[in-house]
Amino acid sequence: MKVLAAMSGGVDSAVAAARAVDAGHEVVGVHLALSRMPGTLRTGSRGCCTVEDSMDARRAADVMGIPFYVWDFSERFKADVVDDFIAEYEAGRTPNPCMRCNEKIKFAALLEKALDLGFDAVVTGHYAAVREDADGNRELHRAADWAKDQSYVLGVLTAEQLAHCLFPLADTPSKAEVRAEAAARGFSVASKPDSHDICFIPDGDTRGFLAERLGAEPGVILDRDGTAVGRHEGAAAFTIGQRKGLNLGVPSVDGRPRYVLDIRPKENTVVVGPREALDLAEVAGTRFSWAGLPPADAFEGFACHVQVRAHSEPVPATARVTEGELVIRPDVPLNGVSTGQTAVLYQGTRVLGQCTIDRTVSASPVRA
């Protein structure tokens, strides 16, 4: 097959591209320039998709002897990921920019362009697996190494997209093996640190990033009964479940810590309360998709596990589609989950699908 290898400049994507070459595919490497500031360099392991990363990707491509290009997707990235991130926080939701990047950039814009240019598939260094059922239908599954499994952030992929995805690292037992393979192949990125945090906020100061773009108007922090217990410098910077940095002037009656329960941008207020008040009996979203064929009993209800963060434990649940929503009821209440987050459904190792959470039902409603 003729395949396009998305090369971020990290060790995983380099080894994935090399394995595609070894498999006999005709491989072309491409690095996505996503930054609006092309002179920016990463700081340690923070950030990605910089000039430094593109040079690392090019060096790896040269070692493999494959063609290599840099494609400028910065305008699309700003509109679909960065602007979306800002708008979600402005609305009091907590977005997942990595999920949005996979959905809108790597497996929409990139894959669409690749197919238009005659490529058969896109290769990435994600730790996840595409398998076929008995009838040949494509399914998305967890990787062999659960510690590195990235199937959660790929839960937005559709059956059509899975048909054009290759994940050569799927059955790799550990990241250490990938680094050892990279060193044996002569890749300079063999010991390069993994990137973390939000790539377009390389200094990690999300609050400062949002304040600069949304402003920071002081407001009131309320307890669940509506009593003012503190003040804040801008509601947009808070997240549901946050405990640190609240600077409350009035201690709780029982002396226990309080957490952010609700963010109300229109009133510029933040509501806090006890940890148990974060428990959710139900989450739902109208923006849902299936990673392959939908469950046969999608409208009647089906047993599954739900995962609400990239590295959280999956929780047993039941789910069904009703009135245009994917409604998920966990067997044990979810804690500290916000609208804007993504709920990914599993059956065993298989990813069934996902929804962006639009609505939640508290097990202990906020009274304020």
Contact 11, 48 (CB under 8 A): no
Cα separation of 302 and 293, whole Å? Answer: 14
Query: What end-to-end distance do the CA atoms of the chain give, in Å?
Result: 59
Contact 20, 5 (CB under 8 A): yes
SS3 content of the chain, % helix, strand, coil (to 5): 25, 30, 45
Distances (CA, A) of 216 to 81, 95, 211, 229, 235: 22, 19, 5, 19, 8
Cα separation of 128 and 133, whole Å? Answer: 16
Checking 158-163 for CB contacts under 8 A at 24+ apart, the result is 158/289, 158/290, 158/291, 159/290, 159/291, 159/292, 159/293, 161/107, 161/108, 161/111, 162/130, 162/138, 162/291, 162/292, 163/138
Handedness of CA 191, 195, 201, 205 (dihedral sign): negative
The residue count of the chain comes to 368
Q: Name the residue among 123, 174, 118 with its Cα closest to residue 17.
A: 123
The catalytic residues are 101, 199
Please give the backbone phi and psi of residue 321, each rounded to the nearest 5 degrees, phi first.
-95, 125
Three-state DSSP at 295 gives: coil
Contact 156, 103 (CB under 8 A): yes
